[in-house]
Structure 1
Amino acid sequence: MVNPDIEIETLAEFDQVAARGSLSGYRIQSVNLLERTFALLAADTSTAVFLGCPMEPDAAAKVRADGALVFPPVPDLPFNPYRGLLYTPEELFTGLRDGYEATPDAEAYAWFQETKSDGDVFSSMLRSVHDDAISDALDEHLAGARVVGVMGGHAMARGGTHYRGAAELGRALTRSGLTVATGGGPGAMEAANLGAYLAPAPDEALAEALELLAKAPSFAPSVSEWAGAAFAVRERWPAGGDSVGIPTWFYGHEPPNAFAGHIAKYFANATREDGLLARSTAGVVFLPGAAGTVQEIFDNATPNYYESRGEPAPMVLVGRAHWTEHLPAWPLLQALARGRAMESRIALVDSVDEVPDALASMS
């Protein structure tokens, strides 16, 4: 008999299930069980799977004898490939006071740089296991949510009018009941996550936050100062709204922003891009950007073009001059959409103020 929910990702969940006397068939992800030896010895653990769970040697021997599969923790890694939950900004930026280079985020990027081309199947396997665990955690976190993706360029500096507009958009979408998801990096992505974070705060909080952030307008030359300014905003308004950031160590020179409440960080950029767009079921907003944003437009358009059983998710491009003259993606998108189900699900607007109404008209 298959359990309806077989994943255990916290010690509290483990205690609840173990108290019933059987862990058979469960998947226990990255739970420290060093102090749960008695529970492991007493419970039926047949067909259970333990992924990166520290346990005492006698407990490990017992569960293996029961027929459980045990994948032990991997030593000397700057990340946990078996993690069951998404990252938080506090976790990725631990140690920021000693400089960004000392944080888990920077250390994971350094490991990736060292191993991405070494041909070691073990390294590539660890990256794949990690990314699959992140996808699983992301699906669980977003279950039942109405997700709208906000895409845009990483070069958008804090303090500018475009940054403010992206923040106002993130705030408006969050206040309307949608969950904002971005690529999780700096620029337009950070701005949208910032707006979502400040959604519960009074309107005037955004102007004050923008002043604080403008002291470090870019992550170059100092990621430490850039991230420090973000955490100063978080300290000023500690009860922020939630949103999701989905960055990648493939572009690890661009740090994740600290305003996404939950961060799904990947090693494989293709997995990250596809996952972000596929999970944006309430629509995708494309702010002015360059090559990466253009790629995302047509990555999103492709499944919409072939959709035949339901309605494609809405696509809204912001910035008429940008998408018709500077980078004319809109005419090509229109040509693709003509005669397809997606034709009534695409829109071009002049400003972010028009986005909520455009999405509502297509929902």
Structure 2
Amino acid sequence: MASPEDERAWEEQRLGPVVRRRDQVQKGTTDQRLLDTAEGDTDWVHTDPWRVMRIQSEFVEGFGALAELPSAISVFGSARTPVGSPEYETGVELGRALVEAGFAVITGGGPGVMEAANRGAREAKGVSVGLGIELPFEQGMNPHVDIGVNFRYFFVRKTMFVKYAQGFVVLPGGMGTLDELFEALTLVQTRKVTRFPIVLFGTEYWSGLVDWLRDTVVAQGKASEHDLLLFHVTDDVDEAVALVSKETGK
């Protein structure tokens, strides 16, 4: 059995805030490994510590680009909505109405409903913002964005949508739209954000989801009746703008 003195005789290595002992000690020092990297060795750009730096840089760039925005509303909806369709025209009308109510408009920067809301905001001479995301199928930033930021990481982008908006208006959309919607509902439900209105636009589209939440999720005790008050459903642009204006104190 080793004595206390023997136990304290282990090799110890301090690498910044990290302590390594016994067989976890690494050879050399951090700056030695940085300066002695072999030619052609690029594996380090794919390591987790380097990813942390990239994540940090995305937060810094996003905060820097958006910090001086006026009050804003994030508008979500399908990238597949055709130009000229009723949903597209609703997006244009909504973007325009939000600017006229004193808001900047933030979208995901892509085509479809996002493009429509950005277009309405630009045509109303408001601030039109697009927060893009790196995807295998490249969408690109739509031409109606005046301030655009592209992100590698979804969770950084999601932070920007919530941090720099005072509310969400959610038009019919797919998986990405649902992801953003439930992220926002969770943040409001858990009181991570306060005074954050969420408006679902299109009663026919959203009624099935609302019925399921009420008749299955709430009915089985997985959520409370009060959670159904976390969002509003409407078919009227003026009502949608009035709802976000009222709850944000506009």
Structure 1 contact 243–261 (Cα < 8 Å) conserved: yes
Q: Give distance in 2, aligned partners of 1:278 and 1:329.
A: 26
Structure 2 contact 106–130 (Cα < 8 Å) conserved: yes
Deviation at 1:179?
1.0
Which residue of structure 1 lines up, in the alignment, with residue 124 of structure 2? 199
Deviation at 1:331?
4.8
1:321 maps onto 2:204 in alignment = yes
1:293 maps onto 2:174 in alignment = no
Deviation at 1:362?
3.2
The counterpart of 1:257, out of the listed 134, 142, 151, is: 142
Which residue of structure 1 lines up, in the alignment, with residue 54 of structure 2? 127
Q: Give distance in 2, aligned partners of 1:261 and 1:133.
A: 19
1:305 maps onto 2:189 in alignment = yes
Matches within 5 A, 1:161-240: 161-200=86-125
Scaled by the length of structure 1, what TM-score is found?
0.50
Deviation at 1:279?
2.4
Which residue of structure 2 lines up, in the alignment, with residue 245 of structure 1? 130
Deviation at 1:158?
1.0
The counterpart of 1:158, out of the listed 69, 83, 99, is: 83
Q: In structure 2, the residue corresponding to 1:246 is in which secondary structure?
A: strand
1:184-216 deviations in Å (ceiling 9; x for gaps): 11111111000000004xxxxxxxxxxxxxxxx
1:242-286 deviations in Å (ceiling 9; x for gaps): 2211111135511111212101211112211232133222x1000
Which structure has the bigger radius of gyration? Answer: 2
> What CA RMSD, in Å, does the superposition of the two structures yield over aligned residues?
2.8
Which residue of structure 1 lines up, in the alignment, with residue 14 of structure 2? none
- Of stretches 328-337 and 297-306 in structure 1, the one that deviates more from structure 2 is 328-337
Q: Give distance in 1, aligned partners of 2:111 and 2:203.
A: 23
The counterpart of 1:270, out of the listed 144, 155, 174, is: 155
Query: Can you give the 5+ residue segments of structure 2 that lack an aligned partner in the other structure?
Result: 1-41
Structure 2 contact 67–164 (Cα < 8 Å) conserved: no
Higher RCO (CA < 8 A, seq sep 6+): 2
Q: Give distance in 2, aligned partners of 1:332 and 1:198.
A: 37
Query: Can you give the 5+ residue segments of structure 1 that lack an aligned partner in the other structure?
Result: 1-114, 201-240
The counterpart of 1:137, out of the listed 52, 64, 77, is: 64
Q: In structure 2, the residue corresponding to 1:316 is in which secondary structure?
A: strand
Structure 1 contact 134–266 (Cα < 8 Å) conserved: no
Q: In structure 1, the residue corresponding to 2:150 is in which secondary structure?
A: coil
Distance 1:330 1:242, change over 3 A: farther
Q: Give distance in 2, aligned partners of 1:337 and 1:138.
A: 38
Which residue of structure 2 lines up, in the alignment, with residue 93 of structure 1? none
Which residue of structure 1 lines up, in the alignment, with residue 226 of structure 2? 339
Structure 2 contact 105–118 (Cα < 8 Å) conserved: yes
Q: In structure 2, the residue corresponding to 1:247 is in which secondary structure?
A: strand
Deviation at 1:294?
1.1
For residue 194 of structure 1, what is the amino acid of its counterpart?
R
Q: In structure 1, the residue corresponding to 2:106 is in which secondary structure?
A: strand
For residue 55 of structure 2, what is the amino acid of its counterpart?
S
Q: In structure 1, the residue corresponding to 2:105 is in which secondary structure?
A: strand
1:209-245 deviations in Å (ceiling 9; x for gaps): xxxxxxxxxxxxxxxxxxxxxxxxxxxxxxxx32211
Q: In structure 2, the residue corresponding to 1:194 is in which secondary structure?
A: helix
Matches within 5 A, 1:25-64: none
Q: Give distance in 1, aligned partners of 2:76 and 2:154.
A: 15
Which residue of structure 2 lines up, in the alignment, with residue 216 of structure 1? none
Structure 1 contact 250–268 (Cα < 8 Å) conserved: no
Q: Give distance in 2, aligned partners of 1:128 and 1:186.
A: 26
Deviation at 1:361?
3.9
The percent of aligned pairs where both chains have the same amino acid is 28
Distance 1:124 1:305, change over 3 A: same
Q: Give distance in 2, aligned partners of 1:292 and 1:279.
A: 19
Deviation at 1:137?
1.2
Q: In structure 2, the residue corresponding to 1:185 is in which secondary structure?
A: coil
Q: In structure 2, the residue corresponding to 1:288 is in which secondary structure?
A: coil
> More strand by proportion, 1 or 2?
2
Q: Give distance in 2, aligned partners of 1:193 and 1:330.
A: 31
Distance 1:273 1:286, change over 3 A: same
1:116-158 deviations in Å (ceiling 9; x for gaps): xx8355863563243123222134232xx21111011110111
